[in-house]
Amino acid sequence: MLLRFTKMHGLGNDFVVIDGVSQGVTMTPELARKLGDRRFGIGCDQILLVEPPTTHDVDFRYRIFNQDGSEVEQCGNGARCFAKFVRDRHLTGKSDIRVETASGIITLHVRRNNLIEVNMGVPVLEPEKIPFLADHRQTRYPIEVLGQQLLVGAVSMGNPHVVLNVESTATAPVDTLGPALEGHALFPNRVNVGFMEVLNRHEINLRVYERGAGETLACGTGACAAAVAGQLQDLIDSTVTVNLPGGSLEVSWSGEGEPVIMTGSATTVFHGRIRI
């Protein structure tokens, strides 16, 4: 069987996007690993699958698979690529698109300047819902890793994130602390790890070690989680520019109980077919 796909990226966070509406496809961990392999497959950070909705009040179902085959709840950069894909492939003509994900419904808005605004939903701060094993909610939590005592923020943006403040993202120990925190026993479902450098109240630098993918050039949910953690610590204002290795995003959050709004670009690289 030949499977049609599109290669896309959001600030260098790259995806294989598959139309599961007009062609039949059953995504398995084995197939996801094959597609995501950068030497023997297409190569990507994650595979995005567009499916018909399962409820009447949304336009599509959106599923996300890491290159290691694991299925995850949410991906902000992927959501922007999703919106561009369904418009470019004429699966919808809407500018406002409601999408069903494993973590709930998100709304995507395609602007005239080709930027895509994503309502990422209300951040989850209660430890047991992140999930994170802590006795009670705090702005920053003490955690021991690799013999170090750290203070970290913890947020779920539909997927779990831990945010560590660093003096410089250029010298942050992403390669060592990233995997150590990702698989830490206090995070039952593993965790995405953000390394945040606050430049001023309107701008931060960020590197993210993604669960199941390693460090990526950009992470939309990680940018949102960092913005929330920074606001809760009174380090940044309600709208912030998040500089990632692959480019910048704008993230706005009005405070507890309100959704996080992320705005950025999405780029199509090429279309192709692969035999599976």
Known binding-site residue numbers for substrate: 13, 46, 66, 76-77, 159, 192, 210-211, 220-221
Please say whether the beta carbons of 193 and 220 come within 8 A: no
Please say whether the beta carbons of 156 and 129 come within 8 A: yes
Q: Give the C-alpha separation, 184 to 186, whole Å.
A: 5
Q: Give the C-alpha separation, 132 to 192, whole Å.
A: 12
Strand segments, DSSP code E, in 184-258 are 192-200, 203-210, 214-216, 239-244, 247-253
Q: Provide the annotated binding site.
A: 13, 46, 66, 76-77, 159, 192, 210-211, 220-221
Q: Give the C-alpha separation, 236 to 219, whole Å.
A: 19
Catalytic residue check, 219 = yes
Q: Which of 44, 75, 81, 224 is catalytic?
A: 75
| Residue closest to 65 by CA, chosen among 52, 79, 47 | 47
β-sheet bridge partners, residue 10: 13
Q: Which of 44, 81, 219, 224 is catalytic?
A: 219
> Alpha carbon of 230 to those of 47, 141, 150, 220, 261: distances in Å?
30, 14, 16, 15, 15
Catalytic residue check, 81 = no
Print burial letters for 225-235: b (CB count within 10 Å at least 16), e (below 16).
Answer: bbbbbbbbbee
| Residue closest to 206 by CA, chosen among 233, 234, 178, 179 | 178
Please say whether the beta carbons of 192 and 180 come within 8 A: no
Indicate which residues carry an active-site annotation.
75, 219
